[in-house]
Chains A and B, each alone.
Chain A
Amino acid sequence: MPNFWSDPFGFLIQWFNNLLLGWGLPGGTVQFIAYVVGAFILVAGSLFFCLLLIWAERKIGGRVQDRLGPNRVGPFGLVQAVADMLKIFTKEFVTPDGVDKVVYNLAPIMSVAAVILLWAVIPFTITFYGNDLNVGVLYLVAVGGLADLSIVMAGWSSNNKFALLGAFRAVAQLISYEVPLVISLLLPVMLSGSMKLNEIVRAQDVPFIVTAPIAAAIFFISSIAENGRAPFDLMEAESEIVAGFNVEYSGLKFGFFFVGDFLHAFTIAMLFSVLFLGGWRGPGADQIPILGFVYMMIKTSIMYFLGLLVRFSLPRFRIDQMMNINWKMLTPIALGAVMATAFVDKATANVLATTTPVLGVILRTLILLVTNGMVLWVASDLMGSVLTRKERRVVALEARPVARPEPPAAPIEPTEGEVS
C-alpha cells in the first residue's frame, strides 16, 4: 500500500480497489468499475481544468499585449471563466436552415473528445496515468487526427461558404503539419526503444531535448500548427473568412470548439514535457511520486507559456509561406535528423560500449548534440541557397523598346519573385 503523503494518487487507487474487493465483488468487475471511475475523473477533470486554462490564457494574453486581461469577477478575475460558462449555458442554439443535423451536432463534441482522448495515455506521475498502452505514441498520432476530422465535419455540414473555405484551409494545414509531427515523434521512440509513454519518460536519463533538439523544435512548431493557433491560424482567420469553420455555431456548441482549442494547447505542452523534457522525472521523483507531478506541471507550464508567447506575439503567415515552411523546411529537416541520429548513434555505439557507463552516456549525448548541430547547419546552408535563388525572369511581361513614333507607355512593373 503506498503512503498517502508521498503518493496520494496511488494510495487512492489502491484504497478504492481494496474497498470494492472488500465488498466481495469479483476481480474483473472491480477492474471494470475502477476503469470507469478513473476515466470519468480524467475526462471530467480535464473539462473543468479548462476553466482555469481559459482564465490563464486570457490573463497572459492580456499582459503580453499590454492590457490587464480579466480583472473584475473575483480575485484577479479568476471566476471570469465560470461566469462566462454560466452565460454560455443559457444561450440559444441557432441552427441555420439546411445544415446536416447529425454531422453538425457531432462536430463540436468530436473536437473536445479528440483532445480529451489524448489524456488517456499521459503519465502524470510514476503511478498516476490513465493507461500505459504499448502503442502509446501511435495512439497519440491516431487520436490527434480526429481533431482535423471534427473541423472538416463542422465546415462541411454548416451549409455556409465561409465555413467551407475555413474547413478546406484547415484540412490542407492540419494534414500537412501532421507529417513532420509524426516524423519528429520517431526520435523519442528510437532513443527509448519503446512506444509506452511511461517507458519513454523512464528512458530519459538525459532529456531528449538535449539528445534530439531538432525533433523537439519541430514537434513544438508543428504541434502549434496542429492546434491551429497564431501564427498558423489561417483556418479561422477573422479578418479573411469571418471565423472559418465555426461561423454557424452558437451557444455551447461554439464554446466547445474553444474548449477543445484551449485544452489542446495545454495537452501538447504536456506531451512535449513527457516526450522531450523527461515528464515526471526529477530529483526524488521515484520515491515520492507526488514530487513527479509537481515537476511535470512545472515543465508543462513553461512549455504552455512559451506557446502562448508565440501565439500572442507573432503575426499570421500567408498560406503559401505556411505550406513552404512545412514541406520545404520542417519535413526534410526532420527526415535528415532521423537519418543522421540513427547513423551516427549506431556507428559510434561499439566504441562507446568499451568506456564506462557514465562516460558513455556523456559522450553519446555530446555526439548526438553535435550531429543535430551539423544537420541544422547543413539544412540552413541548403535553405539559404534555395531561398536566395532568384526566380527566372519572365521576359515577355517586361516593357521592351519598340520603334514607335508615339511616346512610350508607362513601363509595366516586372513581377518580383517573392521570397517565400
Chain B
Amino acid sequence: MLSDWMYIGIFMLLSVFLPAVAIVIAGILGPKKPSPIKNSTYECGIETVGETWVQFKAQYYVYALVFLVFDVETIFLYPWALAYNQQTFFMVTEAILFILILLGGLIYAIRKGVLEWQ
C-alpha cells in the first residue's frame, strides 16, 4: 500500500523533473538578448492600459460555486459505486434518492437562471 504511493511519488517527481531539465537546457542553448521593447506586454501591438488584474464577470464565480457542489457530491457516490455488487435493492434505492436530490438541486439552479450565460 505504502509502496504503491511511493511509486506515485517517484513518478510525480520525475514527471516534474524531466520537463524542468528540458526547459533549463533550452534556456542554456537559446540566445539571451532582452530589450525593453521585446519584454513589453503583448496586446496586439497596442500599449497596454491600466492594471492587468481587472475585475471580471461574476458569472464565472457562480459556475465555480455550482461546480463545487456537484463535484463534491459526485465524489460521495464513488464509495457507493465501489460496493455496488454487494448491495441489496433497498440500498440502491437510497442512493437513487440521493441522486434525485442532487438532480433537484440542478433543476433548481437551472430554473433560477443561474446557469444562463449572459
**Which A residues lie at the B interface, using CB under 8 A?**
31-32, 35-36, 38-40, 42-44, 47, 88-98, 105, 108-110, 112-113, 116-117, 120, 130-131, 133-134, 137-139, 141, 156, 159-162, 164, 168, 171-172, 175-176, 178-179, 182-183, 186-187, 189-191, 193-195, 242, 247-248, 251-253, 256, 319-320, 323-324, 327-328, 331-332, 335-336, 338-339, 342-343, 346-347, 349
Contact = CB atoms under 8 A, between A and B. Distances in A.
B33 to A, nearest CB: 7
A164 B42 contact: no
Contacts of B25: 89
A39 B16 contact: no
B40 A39 contact: no
A164 B7 contact: no
14 contacts: A35-B10, A36-B10, A39-B11, A98-B52, A112-B15, A113-B12, A117-B15, A120-B11, A161-B52, A176-B67, A178-B67, A186-B77, A332-B106, A335-B102
Interface of B: 1, 3-4, 6-8, 10-12, 14-16, 18-20, 22-23, 25-27, 29-34, 36, 38-44, 48, 52-54, 56-57, 59-60, 63-64, 66-67, 70-71, 74-75, 77-78, 81-89, 92-93, 95-96, 99-100, 102-103, 106-107, 109-110, 115-117
A39 B14 contact: yes
A247 B20 CA distance: 20
A186 B7 contact: no
Nearest to A349: B89
**DSSP class of B's interface residues: helix, strand, loop or mixed?**
helix
Contact of A339 (B42, B82, B85, B99): B99
A31 B10 CA distance: 12
A96 B40 contact: yes
Contact of B7 (A92, A130, A242): A130
Nearest to A138: B78
Nearest to B110: A328
Contacts of B70: 179, 331
A39 B7 contact: yes
Centre residue among A162, A253, A319, A331 by max chain B CB count within 10 A:
A331
Contacts of A195: 78, 82
Contacts of A256: 19, 22-23
A366 B76 CA distance: 29
A327 B18 contact: no
A186 B77 CA distance: 8
A134 B82 CA distance: 11
